């Protein structure tokens, strides 16, 4: 597949479509901001030739038609907060930023849905609907910076998936510009729809390779009014994980979150925060969040869970039932990555998945990996859905070369481990640029071949976000 360079003539045509002020060209400082996402390592970055910031569906349609005519790669971009290089123009060409399409178009309280543009910051949806007593439940951890368009592209997960599911559950309709520039509509304001293949949810998680979302209909629901958190300390990873199904079966409770932190994670974070919880003897922590319609229910639930935890060998249970204490326990979880950045800014944040019951087995293998490669891999994440942020951190004694060399051996080995445990290499960050060479570790040739055929069916010239999921052939 051969792409063409962006010429000054093509830039002129782009300026005609979106207006002068919405094109960045020949300005390497301004272009650089569009060359990477939040992946720490710069080896995954790539400079675009040009950045366009369309303001309408019709402009995007024109841009895609032009790109097909000249065979220019187009990489759609949301907030750039992704963690797999999905918004990086891996083959150069054009970055299509949706940052100017950031309007909340409709809040429909009769059908409990909102219609938004892709460049809306996800949390803005919640700000706009909270006065109606509603909330959008599909939000990821980066809710205050990410765009809803990126959430749809990556099928973003987050800490609340155990109760609320992930983004796909809340996407009811999409207006899309196809790679060839056609404008299509999938789904709508309807809760059920089995009219033909479910293209709508095929688009969710397609990482900007099958189409560009221009309008998004999301489902809203009543906002829970009460909330509490439990911080539970355990002597071992196994004891911590064993409690997860017990809460749901014996306790008959589906918590909002069950977050897991291993010793490396919480100790580093607590030290960083100067937090004086008596955590010294613990080998694992769970942070369990509950939400619901009344504080009475929540109280009865956290009592049940507390008892179950103590009966099943927890060291200690702390309850946080007001804003101050809730913030105190969550900041331990939220500051793990920051705390480890002091050790080294060179890190590889993973989001592997295993069946919940296999978390202890995975943690054992992870310990072996750490010893084998002489590297720290703090591990934390969403225990309730087996989605773990194992994060290899550069050994401060190493040169960068030694680090990359190690990482390129360590990552496939970690991916192979999750594959053998019945898991997969990405639960919420996506394959993108970073993990495309490793899909074969968890998917068969036939599955990958079917995915490639689907890509080709949507994008015959292979110009939309090339170099993601698959290599350019």
- Nearest Cα to Cα of residue 44 among 84, 82, 72, 76: 84
CA distance 306 to 193: 41
Q: Taking CB under 8 A as the criterion, which residues in 267-296 touch a copy of itself?
A: 293
Q: Are 237 and 378 in contact (CB under 8 A)?
A: no
Taking CB under 8 A as the criterion, the residue among 110, 276, 280, 397 binding a copy of itself is: 110
Q: Taking CB under 8 A as the criterion, which residues in 372-391 touch a copy of itself?
A: 382, 384-387
Going through 49-148 in order, the beta strands assigned E by DSSP cover: 50-52, 74-77, 94-97, 104-108, 113-116, 134-135
Of 63 and 393, which has the nearer Cβ to a copy of itself?
A: 63
Q: Are 312 and 243 in contact (CB under 8 A)?
A: yes
Decide if residue 439 touches a copy of itself (CB under 8 A): yes
Contact region with a copy of itself (CB under 8 A), list: 114-122, 141-149, 217-225, 361-369: 217-225
Q: Taking CB under 8 A as the criterion, which residues in 69-98 touch a copy of itself?
A: none
Taking CB under 8 A as the criterion, the residue among 120, 162, 258, 298 binding a copy of itself is: 162
| Number of Cα atoms under 13 Å in the Cβ half of residue 126 | 16
26: exposed, middle or buried (Cβ count in 10 Å: 0-12, 13-18, 19+) = exposed
Q: Taking CB under 8 A as the criterion, which residues in 172-201 touch a copy of itself?
A: 178, 182, 184-186, 188-199, 201
Shortest Å distance, C-beta 451 to a copy of itself: 5
Of 195 and 399, which has the nearer Cβ to a copy of itself?
A: 195
Cβ neighbours of 194 (radius 10 Å): 6
Contact region with a copy of itself (CB under 8 A), list: 309-317, 324-332, 353-361, 406-414: 353-361
Shortest Å distance, C-beta 136 to a copy of itself: 14
Decide if residue 444 touches a copy of itself (CB under 8 A): yes
- Please, which residues have CB within 8 angstroms of residue 192's CB and are 6 or more apart in sequence? none
Taking CB under 8 A as the criterion, the residue among 109, 127, 368, 471 binding a copy of itself is: 109
Decide if residue 297 touches a copy of itself (CB under 8 A): yes
CA distance 432 to 226: 38
Q: Taking CB under 8 A as the criterion, which residues in 220-239 touch a copy of itself?
A: 221-223, 225
Taking CB under 8 A as the criterion, the residue among 353, 375, 392, 462 binding a copy of itself is: 353
Q: x/- site string to a copy of itself, residues 408 to 437, per CB under 8 A?
A: --------------xxxxxxxxxx------
- Please, which residues have CB within 8 angstroms of residue 76's CB and are 6 or more apart in sequence? 87, 95, 96, 97, 98, 149, 153, 208, 212, 464, 465
Q: Taking CB under 8 A as the criterion, which residues in 131-160 touch a copy of itself?
A: 132-134, 154-155, 157
């Amino acid at each position: 597949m051969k792409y063409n360079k962006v010429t000054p003539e093509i830039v002129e045509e782009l300026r005609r479509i979106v207006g002068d002020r919405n094109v960045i060209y020949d300005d390497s400082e301004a272009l650089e901001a569009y060359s990477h996402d939040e992946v720490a390592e710069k080896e995954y970055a790539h400079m675009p030739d040009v950045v366009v910031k369309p303001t309408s569906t019709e402009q995007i349609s024109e841009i895609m038609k032009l790109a097909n005519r000249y065979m220019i790669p187009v990489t759609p971009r949301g907030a750039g907060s992704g963690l797999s290089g999905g918004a990086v123009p891996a083959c150069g060409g054009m970055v299509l930023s949706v940052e100017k399409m950031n309007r909340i178009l409709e809040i429909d309280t009769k059908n409990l849905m909102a219609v938004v543009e892709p460049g809306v910051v996800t949390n803005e949806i919640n700000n706009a609907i909270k006065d109606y007593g509603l909330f959008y439940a599909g939000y990821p951890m980066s809710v205050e910076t990410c765009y809803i368009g990126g959430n749809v592209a990556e099928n973003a997960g987050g800490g609340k998936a155990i109760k609320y599911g992930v983004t796909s559950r809340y996407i009811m309709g999409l207006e899309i510009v196809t790679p060839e520039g056609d404008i299509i509509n999938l789904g709508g304001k309807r809760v059920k729809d089995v009219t033909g293949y479910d293209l709508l949810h095929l688009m969710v998680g397609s990482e900007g390779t099958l189409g560009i979302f221009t309008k998004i209909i999301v489902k809203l629901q009543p906002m829970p009014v009460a909330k509490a958190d439990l911080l539970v300390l355990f002597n071992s990873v196994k004891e911590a994980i064993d409690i997860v199904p017990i809460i749901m079966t014996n306790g008959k409770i589906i918590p909002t979150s069950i977050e897991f932190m291993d010793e490396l994670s919480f100790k580093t974070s607590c030290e960083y925060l100067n937090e004086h919880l008596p955590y010294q003897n613990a080998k694992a922590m769970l942070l369990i969040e509950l939400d619901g319609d009344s504080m009475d229910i929540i109280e009865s639930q956290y009592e049940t869970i507390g008892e179950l935890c103590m009966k099943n060998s927890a060291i200690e249970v702390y309850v946080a039932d007001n804003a101050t204490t809730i913030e105190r326990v969550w900041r331990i979880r939220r500051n793990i990555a920051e705390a480890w950045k002091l050790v080294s800014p060179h890190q590889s944040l993973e989001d592997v998945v295993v069946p919940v019951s296999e978390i202890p087995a995975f943690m054992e293998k992870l310990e072996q990996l750490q010893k084998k490669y002489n590297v720290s891999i703090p591990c934390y994440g969403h225990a309730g859905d087996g989605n773990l942020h194992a994060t290899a951190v550069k050994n401060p004694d190493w040169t960068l070369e030694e680090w990359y060399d190690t990482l390129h051996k360590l990552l496939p080995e970690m991916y192979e481990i999750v594959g053998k445990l019945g898991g997969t290499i990405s639960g919420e960050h996506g394959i993108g640029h970073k993990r495309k060479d490793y899909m074969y570790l968890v998917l068969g040739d036939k599955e990958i071949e079917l995915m490639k055929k689907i890509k080709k069916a949507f994008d015959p010239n292979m110009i939309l976000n090339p170099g993601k999921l698959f290599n350019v052939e």
